[in-house]
């Protein structure tokens, strides 16, 4: 299984809204960057990812999983270049992990969140995933 990070501005789509979407989950729409789109095209069912509040909060607040594979983005208005996946909430991060804490930890020096700040959907290594879960107080992270 691969791991990912999804950025969302809480004023547009918050972790609370993601959780409220329930088991069915929601489309992760509106991504208009080819690298981020290609990341979604590479995702597999059950892949886990972090839900990151950007602009406000600047912290990882939850874990999601892919519940539908890459398909045409319903917000792309017939432009077939853009895909999305569906994700659903798995669990809260008990102690949200801030961008400040991530940047201060040398274990994350090569993490996409640090090196590719603007990328809205990005890969997370297994080691980064486990370390962030540890920092966030998840003793038995979802795999």
pLDDT tens per residue across span 100-139: 999 999 999 999 999 987 899 999 999 999 999 999 999 8
CA angle 37, 41, 42 (to 5 degrees): 120
Buried b (16+ CB within 10 A) or exposed e, 26-50: bbbeebeeeebbebbeebeeebbbb
Name the band, by pLDDT with cuts 50, 70 and 90, for residue 143. Answer: confident
**Residue 86, domain CATH:** 3.10.590.10
For residue 62, give the nearest of 140, 143, 138, 139 by alpha carbon. Answer: 138
Q: Is residue 141 part of a domain?
A: no
Domain that holds residue 60: 3-136
Which pLDDT value is given to residue 78? 86
pLDDT tens column, 20-61: 999 999 999 999 999 999 999 999 999 999 999 999 999 999
pLDDT per residue over 67-99, tens digit each? Answer: 999 999 999 998 999 999 999 999 999 999 999
| DSSP codes joined into one string, 45-69 | TT-EEEEEETTTT-EEEEEEEEEEE
> For residues 102 and 71, is the Cβ–Cβ distance under 8 A?
no
13 located within any domain? yes
129 found inside a domain: yes
How many domains, in total, are found in the chain? Answer: 1
Q: Identify whether 142 is part of a domain.
A: no
With respect to residue 119, please indicate whether it lies within any of the assigned structural domains.
Answer: yes
| Residue 32 covered by a domain | yes
Q: Is 143 a member of any domain?
A: no
Tell me what pLDDT residue 1 has. Answer: 83
Question: What are the φ and ψ backbone dihedral angles of 133, each rounded to 5 degrees?
Answer: -60, -45
Q: Is residue 105 part of a domain?
A: yes
């Amino acid at each position: 299984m691969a791991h990912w990070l999804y950025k969302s501005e809480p004023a547009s789509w918050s972790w609370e809204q993601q959780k409220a979407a329930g088991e069915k989950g929601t489309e992760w729409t509106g991504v208009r960057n080819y690298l981020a789109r290609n990341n979604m095209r590479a995702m597999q069912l059950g892949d886990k990812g972090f839900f990151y509040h950007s602009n406000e909060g600047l912290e990882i607040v939850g874990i999601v999983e892919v519940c539908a594979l890459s398909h045409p983005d319903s917000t792309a208005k017939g432009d077939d270049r853009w895909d999305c996946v569906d994700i659903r909430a798995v669990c809260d991060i008990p102690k949200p992990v801030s961008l400040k804490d991530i940047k201060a930890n040398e274990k994350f020096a090569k993490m996409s969140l640090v090196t590719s700040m603007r990328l809205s959907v990005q890969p997370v290594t297994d080691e980064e995933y486990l370390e962030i879960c540890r920092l966030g107080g998840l003793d038995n992270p979802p795999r």
